[in-house]
């Protein structure tokens, strides 16, 4: 396991900006709105060849009766427990805050190696702003500008010198799973149920999760990487710029994953937005598993399961291959079945079919259902081969690739799916014109 460096500080001091600069990504949502980051956000980083895990946390505020603030503080404390090194970020433009003092006291109790960073210092002429932070009893302060890079080299040089040596990474190949759905359908609750701890902040407030959060867990000896994503809303209902960023991040998470678990709220039924979200999985070519969550709140008989499944199949015809499960993240109902289905979908998602077998399937399909005539000549299919996996992608050479009707395209896909044992994965089939140099 690589060393863990946790970024802490009160809201709007630039924690996420520093996170993005060090990781060379835009994984943390950055905006002028205080309190944007609520969950812990993890990413790999490196400096001078030294690798570590960087963790962004929610803004530290006073302990009060607000339940969301309490949960953010809880997540921050959990992150500090995990940390090998702490980066305490303070605001050089605003000056010392009472929250800075309280957090310094808590960090000292933890006895973790800590770097105290004064952010928003854009150059040497502003370093005089740092002096007032010495009143917190801190000897060494690091003036930096996370936005512009000033002082970052010195900070990172000293940071890696304090880190323990990283351990080998045991997880070289993971099944990557994105958990997607409308806001408040139970995405974070599901991951918490699976990993058995409150690793992700859970709240009844829609839109609580704004960043995509990666969580590695091992189930029955098999490692999985879970990506919890911000709830996706209709474009017309996105009023805050910050939520727009979250939607883009959710879609990007699907691009990273092998399988998307599309959560639907069984107590509310199937909505148009559920179908739209499911459509994103098709665009990105990832596997898909439908999960009717909150099944404990509806009747649990076979008749209800069939009715929900039939309605979903009707409204999402383009995902007729996607398995459907009924679960309750709250009670654990059906959650253990998810991994058997995930393993089946992932195996098919990464399967390679031999060229010889594919051409037997193609030959049998054409014999059973002859293709129509095009421009007075019959369509001919000469040869098929698999281009790649994840998802299984095939190319078929023909005399008129641009004239193939979508119904015959669908017929050939279904033949490959049925006879190739690919009943639970997306498939892509392309047509190309046969060249004169081809022997088949």
- Last residue of a domain, which of 332, 349, 366? 349
Which range (149-158, 293-302, 348-357) has the least confidence?
293-302
Over residues 9-20, mean pLDDT: 91
Does some domain include residue 281?
yes
Task: Please tell me the least confidently modeled range out of 29-43, 233-247, 408-422.
Answer: 233-247
Domain stops at, among 349, 369, 394: 349
Contact 295, 307 (CB under 8 A): no
Domain membership flag for residue 166: no
Last residue of a domain, one of 131, 161, 191: 161
- pLDDT of res. 56: 84
Integer Cα distance of 212 and 180 in angstroms: 10
Q: Are residues 364 and 319 in the same domain?
A: no
Span 97-135, pLDDT tens digits: 988 998 898 888 888 899 999 999 999 999 999 999 999
Q: What is the pLDDT of residues 368-389, one digit of tens each?
A: 999 888 877 888 999 999 999 9
Same domain, yes or no: 187 and 250: yes
Q: Specify whether 304 is located in the same domain as 211.
A: yes
Q: Phi and psi of 64, rounded to 5°? A: -140, -165
> Buried (b) or exposed (e) across 138-174, using 16+ Cβ within 10 A?
eeebbbbbbeeebbbeebbeebbeebeeeeeeeeeeb
Same domain as 25, residue 132: yes
SS3 (DSSP) at 410: helix
Residue written as token pair 């999402």: 316
* Shared-domain flag, residues 333 and 363: no
Residue 203: pLDDT over 70: no
Residues 157 and 180 in one domain: no
Least confident of 21-35, 188-202, 320-334: 21-35
* In-domain check, residue 440: no
Q: What is the structure's pLDDT at 211?
A: 55
* Mean pLDDT score across all residues of the chain: 83
CATH of residue 203: 3.40.50.300
Residues 329, 359, single domain; the answer is no
C-alpha 392/C-alpha 402 separation (Å) is 22
């Amino acid at each position: 396991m690589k060393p863990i460096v946790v970024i802490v500080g009160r809201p709007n001091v630039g924690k996420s900006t520093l996170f993005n600069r060090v990781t060379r990504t835009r994984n943390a949502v950055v905006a002028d709105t205080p309190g944007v980051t609520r969950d812990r956000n993890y990413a790999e980083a490196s400096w001078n060849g030294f690798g570590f895990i960087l963790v962004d946390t929610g803004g530290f505020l006073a302990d009060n009766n607000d339940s969301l603030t309490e949960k953010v503080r809880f997540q921050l404390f959990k992150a500090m427990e995990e940390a090998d090194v702490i980066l305490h970020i303070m605001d050089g433009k605003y000056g010392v805050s009472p929250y800075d003092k309280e957090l310094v006291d808590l960090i000292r109790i933890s006895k973790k190696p800590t770097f105290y960073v004064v952010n928003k210092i854009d150059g040497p002429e502003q370093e005089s702003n740092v002096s007032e932070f010495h009143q917190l009893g801190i000897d060494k302060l690091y003036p930096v500008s996370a936005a512009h890079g000033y002082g970052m080299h010195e900070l990172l040089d000293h940071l890696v010198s304090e880190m323990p040596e990283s351990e080998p990474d045991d997880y070289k190949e993971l099944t990557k799973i994105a958990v997607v759905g409308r806001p408040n359908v139970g995405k974070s609750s599901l991951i918490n149920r699976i990993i058995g701890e409150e690793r992700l902040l859970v709240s009844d407030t829609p839109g609580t999760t704004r960043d995509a959060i990666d969580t590695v867990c091992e189930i029955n000896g098999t490692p999985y990487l879970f990506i919890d994503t911000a709830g996706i809303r209709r474009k017309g209902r996105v009023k805050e710029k910050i939520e727009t960023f979250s939607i883009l991040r959710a879609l990007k998470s699907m691009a990273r994953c092998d399988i998307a678990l599309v959560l639907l709220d069984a107590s509310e039924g199937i909505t148009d937005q559920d179908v739209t979200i499911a459509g994103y999985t098709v665009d990105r070519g990832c596997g898909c598993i439908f999960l009717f969550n909150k099944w404990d709140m509806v009747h649990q008989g076979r008749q209800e399961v069939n009715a929900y499944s039939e309605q979903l199949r009707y409204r999402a015809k383009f995902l007729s291959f996607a398995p459907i499960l009924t679960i309750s993240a709250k009670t654990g109902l059906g959650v253990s079945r998810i991994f058997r289905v995930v393993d089946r979908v992932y195996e098919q998602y990464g399967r390679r079919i031999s060229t010889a077998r594919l051409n037997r399937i193609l030959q049998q399909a054409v014999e059973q259902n002859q293709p129509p005539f095009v421009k007075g000549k019959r369509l001919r299919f000469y040869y098929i081969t698999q281009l790649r996996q994840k998802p299984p992608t095939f190319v078929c050479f023909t005399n008129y690739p641009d004239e193939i009707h979508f119904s015959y395209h669908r017929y050939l896909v279904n033949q490959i799916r049925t006879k190739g044992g690919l009943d639970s994965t997306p498939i892509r089939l392309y047509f190309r014109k046969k060249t004169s140099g081809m022997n088949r």
